[in-house]
Chain A
Amino acid sequence: MNLLEVKDLSLVIDGKTIFKEVNFKILKGEIHALIGVNGCGKSSIASVLMGLVSPTKGSIFLAGEDITNLSITDRAKRGLTLAWQEPTRFEGISVKQYLELSGKTKDMIQIRNALNTVGLLPSLYLSRKVDKSLSGGERKRIELASVYLLKPKIAILDEIDSGVDYVAIEKVLETIKTISSKGSVLLITHQDEFLKIADVATLICNGIVLRTGNPNEISKYYKYECAFCDDEERRKNPLEEFLNVTG
């Protein structure tokens, strides 16, 4: 069953095409990676899916329901959530409060469990503030704990790996797998370790979907493919073409 279906989604801002006629589907329990080089439109797709920005064209279906015109809140209530590439900070709100409102639970066992899952010790983090005192990696993991507690149908994780230290990466990968066991995950990433846990990958280049398929296959040469994204012929042997160009 398709939990999320994106049909002919396009976004044009001030006359500039950010992405065009994007199509992909996410099945229940699937980890679907959205890959591509910086600036190719991945985060913009995430913003449109969550309702932060309205698309110029196209439709989004969540569990068969057209959610294209729903508000952020209504999408979230139906089971869609987004962990930002750079999660914002909140003055005066503790990690405990943040996780309580995220998961709509005050059950301390669940909250502690969520922190442990992402590799943060509850005794050290519950009373800390979700503000500038947290490092980028800590903030990312708290956001992931929040998504874990929400138990969403679809979790959009935008570069959840960036800023997370090498030791914590395993915990983050495990958490993503756990989230996908209860719903599905749209994973925006550059990292090979993260592509390895994906079931399917969609390659985006200059706002256009080049192809959807096996993540291992796609990850091999995608950076070279993106160098020739407007030339279908040269994309057939991207590495060769790339070596020709660079000598």
Chain B
Amino acid sequence: MSLDRRKEFEMLMDVLGKEGGDSEAIKENLGASMVLNKDEVIHVNSTKGVIITSEKIQDGIKAHIRVVDNHKEEKPVHLCFGMLPKEGRQVIESVIIIGKNAKVKIMSHCIFPNAVNIEHIMDGKLIIEEGGELIYEEEHFHSDTGKIKVVPKFEAIVEKKAKFFNNFYLKKGKVGELYIDYHVKLKESAVTELTTKIYGKEDDFIETKEKISLEGENARGLILGRIVLKDRAQSKFIGITEGLAPNTRAHVDCTEIIMDQAKASAIPEIISHHPSSKLTHEAAIGQIDQKQLQTLMAKGLTEDQAIEIIVNGILS
């Protein structure tokens, strides 16, 4: 590794460590990992069961991650997608294939500590083969200022009896503009849970569109959204479930807390093509629960302290 790349690597690991990420696991090669600064791969480590390769594309990379059949990766796979420059565009196209009966947890850390004007685009194709399991956890660490546009998008195919759990967290720093677009297609007896937790502040704009298509019999899905907005932040939450096969179940659960001049909307769409498909939704938008606030204040906490605890709980 060149001196510049070593320096970039250290800087990204330093930010990741300070934000609570497991930078040691990457530095010590304790599992499979990949580190990217803007459009350059500065670190990559594959293991026996998790093979990571990449190729350069315009403004970014195309990453291939393959977990071999029947392999259970003990340690999480760490992907660190960072941008140290203040400005620029980063495009990551990923193809992730989880082999038959394989199991893995991927932790994706997106770090933009110096962002002034940055665009971060992720476009993924995920295939979880029969009996496989993928937990994909994406956490963003943004600066408190600057203009960031984040576009996470993927299409996932979850094969027979496979499981896919996706968690997206953006709780620290400024969101900027965020456009989430997820579509999960579930085959027979497949399961998915899509969880999104976001804290919007100032003039942040958040749009999340998550769709689950229940294509196989007995498939199960859950879309869970927790969004807290303050100042002038705005959010639009769209949760779509589509029942296309017998005995399928899906639920959309969205809670949005708004403070100050923030605005929020929640749009559930339920499409059923089969009488035995059961699709439900619940959405709540409102201010912080007054009784929760008063309960904590009756223990001596100030209103601001109580709000912080309630918000942290919702987003935890």
The stretch of B44-52, B275-283, B299-307 in contact with A is: B299-307
A101:B289 contact, CB within 8 angstroms? no
* CB of B295 within 8 Å of the partner chain: yes
Quick one: closest B residue to A90, CB to CB? B313
Contacting residue for B298 out of A81, A92, A93, A104, CB 8 A: A81
Chain B residues near A (Cβ < 8 Å): 255, 289, 291-292, 294-303, 309-310, 312-316
Q: How many A residues touch the partner, as a band?
A: 20 to 34
From B302, B310, B315, B316, contact of A73 by CB (8 A): B302
> Of B295, B297, B300, B315, which one neighbours A84 at CB under 8 angstroms?
B295
User: B296's closest neighbor in chain A, by CB?
Assistant: A101
Q: How far is the CB of B307 from chain A (nearest CB, A)?
A: 12
Q: List 29 A-B contacts (CB under 8 A).
A: A50-B294, A50-B298, A72-B294, A72-B298, A73-B300, A73-B302, A76-B297, A76-B298, A77-B300, A80-B298, A81-B298, A84-B295, A87-B295, A88-B289, A88-B291, A88-B292, A88-B295, A91-B255, A91-B313, A91-B314, A92-B312, A92-B313, A92-B314, A93-B309, A93-B316, A101-B299, A102-B299, A104-B300, A146-B299
Chain B interface, >50% SS class: helix
Q: How far is the CB of A67 from chain B (nearest CB, A)?
A: 13
Most buried by A among B301, B303, B315: B301
A150 — which chain B residues lie within 8 A by C-beta?
299-300
Q: Which of B291, B300, B314 is the most central at the interface, judged by chain A CB atoms within 10 Å of its CB?
A: B300
List of 6 A-B pairs having minimum Cβ-Cβ separation, nearest first? A92-B313, A92-B316, A76-B300, A72-B297, A93-B313, A88-B291
A88 to B298, CA, bound (A): 13
A11 within 8 A of B: no
CB distance from A173 to the nearest CB of B (A): 23
Smallest CB gap from A143: residue in B: B295
Write out the residue numbers on chain B whose beta carbons fall within 8 Å of the beta carbon of A102.
Answer: 299
- The distance from the CB of B236 to the nearest CB of chain A, in whole angstroms, is 22
Nearest residue (CB) in A for B309 is A101
Give complex CA distance A73, B302 in Å.
6
| Segment 198-242 of A: residues with Cβ below 8 Å from B | none
Known interface pairs A76-B298, A77-B300, A101-B309; 7 further A-B residue pairs with C-beta atoms within 8 A, sorted by A's residue number = A50-B294, A73-B297, A75-B298, A88-B295, A91-B255, A93-B309, A150-B300
